[in-house]
C-alpha cells in the first residue's frame, strides 16, 4: 500500500513495505531508513511488522513490537502493551526511541536537522468485509482464499426417455387369386388357396418379427416361375431331384429350361403356409424373400409366388414344388 506524507509544505512519497514477523521482535530503529531519490524529494521506506493473519491490528512502529504467533487464524494479541500516544514523562529505552526522519526543504537546500520525534499514523483496522487470507508456505506473503459457492447442488438432468415404436399389425384385404392352370403333362398348377395361405403366413411372420407387412394385393401369382416348376415336374425321371434347382439344372431327357427362377421349396404335404415358414427358417432365403433389414415402405414391394402339385411319371398331388421372389411392383 502507498501512503502520502506531508512534510512541511512539500509532498513526499513514502512506500510502505510489509514484512512478516517470523519470530521474536522487530525494532523500529532497525527498519526505518531514509534515502534521497532526487534533488528536492526523499522517500521514507518504512518496513512495518505485518499484522496477524487473523485480522489483529498493525504494530505501532514507535514501539518495540513483540508478537506471539501461537495460533494462526485465531485471535492472538501482541504481548507488548501498545499506546497510540506515548506518555510525555515516560523514559523510552534506547531500543524504543524513534528513529530520525529526514525531510527536504521546499527550496531545494540542505536537509534540516533530524527531528527528535516521529509521528506515525496507526494503520487502519482490517475491514470486516475483507477476504480471508492465509500465510504462504515461505511466510513472506499472503494469498487470497476465494470463497466457495454456496447453495444446493443443481438437480441432475433427467435421463432421456426412449420410446420404442409399436410393431405394425396385420393389414386388411386379400390376394387376387390364381388361375389353377394344368401343364401339358397333366401337372396341376397354383390355386387361389395356395396363394392365400402363403400370403397370410408370410405377413404373420413379418408382423411377429416387427417387420412391416406387405399389402395382400401385392402378393401375387407369377406364371413365369410356374412355367419353370412345370418344366421340373415333367422330367420323366423317377428321381424327384432330377432337374430340381436353379437356372442351370438339367432334365434327364435334355429338354431345355424355361421360365423364371426364384426361391425354391419342395416335398410332400406342403402348403402355401408351410413353404412360407420354411423360407423364413432358412437364413439365406429369409434375407432374399423377407429382407429384415429393409427400412423402406412396402407399398411398392411385390411378392411373387407359384406352386405345382404332383409330377410325372407317378408323383402324387401332395408332392409340391414352390417358388417365390421379392420384386418392385
Give per-residue pLDDT as tens, 149-201. Answer: 666 777 888 887 777 778 999 999 999 999 999 999 999 999 999 999 999 99
Are residues 201 and 110 part of one domain?
A: no
**Count of CB atoms situated within 10 Å of the CB of 266:** 21
pTM score: 0.53
Task: Please report whether residue 287 resides in a domain.
Answer: yes
Number of domains observed in the structure of the chain: 2
Are residues 225 and 102 part of one domain?
A: no
Query: Does residue 11 surpass a pLDDT of 90?
Result: no
Are residues 323 and 198 part of one domain?
A: yes
Task: Please report whether residue 241 resides in a domain.
Answer: yes
- Sorted by sequence, the CB contacts under 8 Å of residue 116 that are 6+ apart come out as 98, 100
Q: Give Cα 209 distance to the centre of its chain.
A: 33
Task: Please report whether residue 199 resides in a domain.
Answer: yes
Query: Does residue 61 surpass a pLDDT of 80?
Result: no
Task: Please report whether residue 136 resides in a domain.
Answer: no
Are residues 319 and 218 part of one domain?
A: yes
Are residues 218 and 108 part of one domain?
A: no
- Whole-number mean pLDDT of the chain? 72
Extract the runs of DSSP E, i.e. beta strands, from 172-257: 219-221
Are residues 323 and 217 part of one domain?
A: yes
Task: Please report whether residue 104 resides in a domain.
Answer: yes
**268 φ/ψ angles, rounded to the nearest 5 degrees:** -85, 150
59 burial (CB, 10 Å; 0-12 / 13-18 / 19+) is buried
User: Cα separation of 180 and 182, whole Å?
Assistant: 7
What residues pair up with 322 in beta bridges, in sequence order?
A: 265, 307
Residue span of the structural domain in which 23 resides: 1-73+98-114
Are residues 315 and 211 part of one domain?
A: yes
Single residue among 64, 88, 114 that ends a domain in this structure: 114
Q: Is the omega angle on the peptide bond into residue 313 within 30 degrees of 0, that is, cis?
A: yes
Amino acid at each position: 500500500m502507498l501512503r502520502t506524507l506531508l512534510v512541511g509544505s512539500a509532498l513526499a512519497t513514502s512506500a510502505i513495505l510489509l514484512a512478516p514477523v517470523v519470530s521474536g521482535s522487530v525494532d523500529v530503529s532497525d527498519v526505518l531508513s531514509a534515502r534521497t531519490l532526487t534533488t528536492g524529494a526523499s522517500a521514507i521506506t518504512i518496513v512495518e511488522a505485518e499484522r496477524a493473519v487473523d485480522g489483529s491490528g498493525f504494530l505501532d512502529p514507535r514501539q518495540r513490537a513483540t508478537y506471539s504467533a501461537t495460533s494462526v487464524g485465531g485471535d492472538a494479541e501482541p504481548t507488548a502493551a501498545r499506546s497510540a500516544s506515548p506518555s510525555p514523562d515516560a523514559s523510552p529505552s534506547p531500543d524504543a526511541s524513534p528513529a530520525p526522519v529526514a525531510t527536504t526543504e521546499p527550496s531545494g537546500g540542505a536537509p534540516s536537522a533530524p527531528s527528535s520525534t516521529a509521528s506515525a499514523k496507526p494503520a487502519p483496522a482490517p475491514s470486516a468485509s475483507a477476504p480471508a487470507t492465509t500465510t504462504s508456505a515461505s511466510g513472506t506473503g499472503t494469498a487470497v482464499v476465494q470463497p466457495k459457492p454456496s447453495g444446493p447442488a443443481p438437480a441432475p438432468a433427467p435421463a432421456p426417455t426412449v420410446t420404442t415404436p409399436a410393431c405394425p399389425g396385420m393389414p386388411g384385404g386379400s390376394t387376387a387369386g390364381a388361375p389353377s392352370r394344368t401343364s401339358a403333362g397333366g401337372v396341376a398348377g397354383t390355386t387361389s388357396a395356395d396363394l392365400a395361405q402363403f400370403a397370410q403366413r408370410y405377413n404373420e411372420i413379418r408382423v411377429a418379427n416387427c417387420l412391416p407387412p406387405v399389402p395382400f394385393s401385392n402378393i401375387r401369382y407369377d406364371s413365369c416361375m410356374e412355367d419353370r416348376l412345370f418344366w421340373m415336374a415333367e422330367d420323366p425321371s423317377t428321381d424327384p431331384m432330377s432337374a430340381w434347382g436353379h437356372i442351370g439344372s438339367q432334365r434327364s431327357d435334355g429338354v431345355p429350361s424355361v421360365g423364371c427362377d426364384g426361391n425354391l421349396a419342395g416335398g410332400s404335404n406342403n402348403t402355401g403356409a408351410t413353404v412360407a415358414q420354411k423360407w423364413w427358417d432358412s437364413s439365406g432365403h429369409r434375407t432374399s424373400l423377407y429382407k429384415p433389414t429393409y427400412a423402406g415402405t412396402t407399398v411398392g414391394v411385390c411378392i411373387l409366388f407359384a406352386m405345382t402339385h404332383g409330377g410325372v411319371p407317378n408323383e402324387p398331388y401332395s408332392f409340391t414344388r414352390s417358388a417365390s421372389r421379392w420384386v418392385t411392383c
